[in-house]
Amino acid sequence: MPATSPLHPKVRYGLCTFSCHRHWEAIRKRQPGTKFSDALSFLDYAQGIGAQGVQTHIADEPTAQKMRDRCESLGAYYEADIRFPKTERDLSAFEADVRHARLAGAAVARTVMLSGRRYETFKNVREFGEHQQQSETMLHQVEPLLKKHGLKLAIENHKDNLAAEFVPLLKRVSSEWIGVCVDTGNNLALLEEPYAVIEAIAPYALSVHLKDMAVQPADDGFLLSEVPFGTGFLDLKRIIATLLAANSSLIFNIEMGTRDPLHVPCLTARYWETFANRPAVELAHSLSLVKQHPPSQNPPTITGKDMLAQMADEEANNQRCLAWMKELTDG
């Protein structure tokens, strides 16, 4: 647990959608035992277990207005989660999401330019490059819409861009309305040093997906897991301080993904097909990190557990993260 002196007593923190993805999956499958059913009841649930707000999607104006009213009455925050447009045909739906986000009271919306992982989605450097070019084109097209409605777009580093690719993209777009939702663990899957990534993208930070991580060796790479705060190997106090120094108004959305460990097959040829001219030392450093940081406890798993057990584990993991944040900020 953190030291007794608070890092910053005014830091706001809560839950993003994926921190409760087992619960949302149960809702989609109409499983019994769920504790919320939509964005509004998700906010109530999150506050009930210690969160100060939520980052999630709202799909219509009535719900957006109710979210604004609910947040105002509870003293909660709301950040939006919206879909990034792939082509011009998607711009009208994107603008509708932007309007709903603003109506709900959000100043920031998180999005991703790639929903998957580059080493699984694309076959080679050319395919990834085409995706990057299209994404940059769409960023230039959404920027006037964001400015028009007064919403800032936070693009997550989502196992797609290396820091050395992401920062130049942000510089080319060069807009106060477009920045980063800093995910504190994702770039480990791209074999990047976590603190270097965070320091590189912190100047563009508009939101945060805060997570602690555990790693385990695998025959063809390693396994990567989100774990309750304080049980992984990341120095979260250092990370939070770095991000607050760049943007003191950041909200820290906990993303404690309760799932099986993510397989990162970095010792296969397939993994490297979308990367050009990366030095071998990056692989060596990553494998050394895995060796030096064995898990302090068994990382979460869901295989073999029924949905009720998965949701119970998820809630317990989120509660541990929220308690860690409360102690960090309250002292």
Per-residue pLDDT of the chain (331 residues; tens, 9 = 90+): 333 345 566 899 999 999 999 999 999 999 999 999 999 999 999 999 999 999 999 999 999 999 999 999 999 999 999 999 999 999 999 999 999 999 999 999 999 999 999 999 999 999 999 999 999 999 999 999 999 999 999 999 999 999 999 999 999 999 999 999 999 999 999 999 999 999 999 999 999 999 999 999 999 999 999 999 999 999 999 999 999 999 999 999 999 999 999 999 999 999 999 999 899 999 999 999 999 999 999 999 999 999 999 999 999 999 999 999 999 998 6
Residues 6+ apart with CB under 8 A from 125: 273, 274, 275, 276
Q: How far apart are the first and last CA of the chain?
A: 11
User: pTM for the complete prediction?
Assistant: 0.96
What domains appear along the chain, each with residue ranges and CATH number? 12-330 (3.20.20.150)
Q: How far are the Cα atoms of 87, 89, 161, 188, 262 from residue 301, in angstroms, in the given order?
A: 37, 39, 27, 19, 10
Beta strand pairing call for 262-264 and 221-227: antiparallel
What stretch of H or E contains 25? helix 21-28
For 137, the token pair is 């084109």
